[in-house]
Amino acid sequence: MKIMDAFSGETGPMDRRSFLKLSGILGLGMASAGIIPATAEAVKFNRKLYKVSETRLAMGTFVSMTLIHPNKDQAEEAMGMAFHEIHRLTGLLNRFDDKTAVGQLNKDGYLKDIPSEMTEVVAAALHYHQMSQGAFDITVKPLVDLFEEKLGGKNQLLPTQKEIKRALELVGSQKIRLSEGKIIFQKPGMGITLDGIAKGYVVDQVSERLSEYKIENHLINAGGDIRTKGAKADNRPWMVAIEDPSKAKNYPDIIQMRDGAVATSGNYEIFYDREKMFHHIVDPNSGLSPDLKNSVSVRAETTMEADALSTSVFVMNPVKGIEFMNALPRCEGLVVAKDGSLLKSRGWKSAAK
């Protein structure tokens, strides 16, 4: 889920988008991106364990990690490795930089010798496109670019139906050809944005690297895409607060986590007009941003899955989205509707009060 995003709508959409372009693509007992811990901290939790935590700007957000380990030096070394891995992967998947693999693909319409990491993410995106019956679609970039172009300047103008229709002609994951280390767009002018899946993928990769360093108890929060493993130092589960779309700290729910992931997609994250009619989540069928809900949180085994599914359900009608979640194994969802009401899938579990 995306918990407590550090950037509220109060700063204005232009500030948020500018930050994303500049930077390129939390974790104590309760994770909340609205609470930014110290930049770096290493304290002895008890006689046997250290809690090492750090927060940095990465992937267009604040990324925070908390590691619980008997050896402080080993945990700090693992922390440095983890942030280095984030930087490396961002250098492949960032759509704002023409020099990255994704940037080159969007510029040229094809790419040979694709990095294996990009192949994994694009292949997964095509899988979730099919699973969601088209709700998840990484080719909506022309629509997102249109929103930014029309609404990003001082003289904000709503995109016309003709402009939306023209952009929609470039949308459709079925127009992507991925095979034998190369990817090709079937139509000139197409482009992809991996914003709805890449951050989850990066978090999963970092969690795996931490496990290789024998850091079996950790929490990673990348602007609300959260992966947990093990437990806190007292062997209790991690506590995670679901983001309040209104930013009033009236959290829709609090959940307990050990090994797993949660991600939230919402209209409060990146939006282009004050009414939030146009935001970064786009329905690939209508070309418009869905407006029947404020946020969708999904629990899953991996952050990439939670990330992609939360975006998928956000595009769907709320009731249909919950039905979709009920049909999936080992996944659960929470929808915060436009009126503030909550819809939960059958297996969604809140923390004990």
Residue 285 belongs to some domain of the structure:
no
Among 17-26, 146-155, 305-314, name the one with the lowest average pLDDT: 17-26
Residue 210 belongs to some domain of the structure:
no
Is the pLDDT score of 303 beyond 90? yes
Top mean pLDDT of 16-30, 125-139, 227-241 is at: 125-139
Query: Rounded CA gap, 37 and 273, in Å?
Result: 30
- Strand boundaries in 267-300, DSSP class E: 293-300
Domain that holds residue 143: 101-185
Residue 137 belongs to some domain of the structure:
yes
Count of domains forming the chain: 1
Q: Percent of the chain at pLDDT above 90?
A: 64
State the alpha helices, DSSP H only, in 132-181.
141-151, 161-168
Return the ∠ at Cα 106 (arms to 100 and 110), rounded to 5°: 95
Q: Tell me how far apart the terminal alpha carbons of the chain are, to the nearest angstrom.
A: 20
CATH number for the domain that contains residue 177: 1.10.3980.10
Q: For the segment 173-219, what is each residue's pLDDT rounded down to a tens digit? A: 999 999 988 999 999 999 999 999 999 999 999 999 999 999 999 99
- Average confidence (pLDDT) over 140-160: 84
CB atoms inside a 10 Å sphere around CB 230: 18
- Average confidence (pLDDT) over 297-321: 95
- Average confidence (pLDDT) over 235-261: 87
| CA count, 13 A, side-chain hemisphere, 88 | 12
Residue 153 belongs to some domain of the structure:
yes
Among 139-153, 263-277, 314-328, 337-351, name the one with the lowest average pLDDT: 263-277
Is the pLDDT score of 339 beyond 90? no
- Average confidence (pLDDT) over 40-49: 76
- The mean pLDDT value of the chain amounts to 84
Residue 131 belongs to some domain of the structure:
yes
Exposure of 265 by Cβ count < 10 A (0-12 exposed, 13-18 middle, 19+ buried)?
A: buried
Residue 144 belongs to some domain of the structure:
yes
pLDDT value of position 22? 35
pLDDT value of position 140? 95
Residue 72 belongs to some domain of the structure:
no
Q: For the segment 255-285, what is each residue's pLDDT rounded down to a tens digit? A: 999 999 999 987 656 554 454 555 568 899 9
Q: For the segment 62-121, what is each residue's pLDDT rounded down to a tens digit? A: 999 999 999 999 999 999 999 999 999 999 999 989 999 999 999 999 999 999 999 999
Exposure of 119 by Cβ count < 10 A (0-12 exposed, 13-18 middle, 19+ buried)?
A: middle
